[in-house]
Amino acid sequence: MNLLNDAWIPVIRRGTPKRVLIRPYEITEGIDVDPFCSIDAKRPDFKSSYLQFLIGIIQTVMTPQDEVEWVRLFCKPPSKEQLFHSMQKDQRYFDLIGDEISFMQEPNLNAGRKPIANLLIESPGENTLEQNTDHFVKRDRVKGMCEACTAASLYTLNANAPAGGAGIRTSLRGGGPLTVAIIPDGYNAAYDTLWHLVWLNVLISKDLERTNCTLSLQDSAAKFPWAGDIRISK
């Protein structure tokens, strides 16, 4: 499974409220006729993570250079084909199980096998299981996951994992980070789509650099941390 080339993001269209899975580059498909209007995840944490993923990949592959370009793409979204071509140069970093690089995974960690349920952010930690104190969130609730849910779990855990000794490392964004997203106001239906929700949260180049993002870095691990050796804070 490749997270850029395979359909795994659950969404619904405005006029056809039936849940479908799309590829990231299909976010603007049919936007002038029956646009995708929202993410339809079964878990609230997954819903937030799908949105963060879409914002992140769009920010990475097509950062607008200035306000003029940002406004142009807000008013006239890119086609599915344009998004596809923008994403293809980075598709090798988004294999769920890759030969060399696997999405959000570190191949060289010295750790044993663990149940797949451990990818769910609320799963009891090692100490809780050893002390037999998993009173509220029980062990062994989940025995398996489909590829799409596995990918969503991986992203959710890596982006939002809290600190606190649950047998996992603190997330890339720190312990239990707060996420704030700008949303369309809903007054103009033409701009109340999933694309516009994502694009409202994409920064132009100079604003992105103000977040301590060094755009001149060429190393793939600077954009995709799992493409390089894991960095551990000590």
Q: Do the domain assignments include residue 3?
A: no
DSSP the chain: -BTTTS--EEEEESS----EEE-GGGTTTTTTTS-EEEE--SSHHHHHHHHHHHHHHHHHH---SSHHHHHHHHHSPPPHHHHHHHHHTTGGGGBSS-SS--TT--TT-------GGGGSTTS--HHHHHTT--SSS-TTS-----HHHHHHHHHHHHHHPPSSSSSSPPPTT-SS---------SS-GGG-SHHHHHHTTPPPHHHHHTTT--TT---HHHH-GGGS------
How many domains in the chain?
A: 1
Q: Do the domain assignments include residue 233?
A: no
Give the model's pLDDT for residue 157.
86
Give the model's pLDDT for residue 137.
61
Q: Do the domain assignments include residue 63?
A: yes
Give the model's pLDDT for residue 195.
97
Q: Do the domain assignments include residue 76?
A: yes
Q: Do the domain assignments include residue 182?
A: yes
Prediction pTM value: 0.88
| Tokens found for residue 220 | 């793939």
Low-confidence ranges of the chain (pLDDT < 50): none
Cβ-based neighbour number of residue 218 at 10 Å: 6
Give the model's pLDDT for residue 207.
93
- What is the identity of the amino acid at 8? W
Q: Do the domain assignments include residue 178?
A: yes
Give the model's pLDDT for residue 233.
63
Give the model's pLDDT for residue 185.
87
Give the model's pLDDT for residue 115.
80
Q: Do the domain assignments include residue 4?
A: no
Cβ-contact 103, 93 below 8 angstroms: yes
Residue 149 phi, psi dihedral angles, 5° rounding = -70, -35
**Per-residue exposure over 59-98, b if at least 16 CB sit within 10 Å of its own CB, e if not:** bebbbbeeeeebeebeeebbebeebbebbeebebbbbbeb
Cβ-contact 154, 3 below 8 angstroms: no
> What is the total residue count of the chain?
234
Q: What domain range includes position 211? A: 9-227
Q: Do the domain assignments include residue 234?
A: no
| Tokens found for residue 210 | 């103000």
- Sequence-separated (6 or more) residues with CB below 8 Å from residue 25: 4, 80, 83, 84, 86, 87
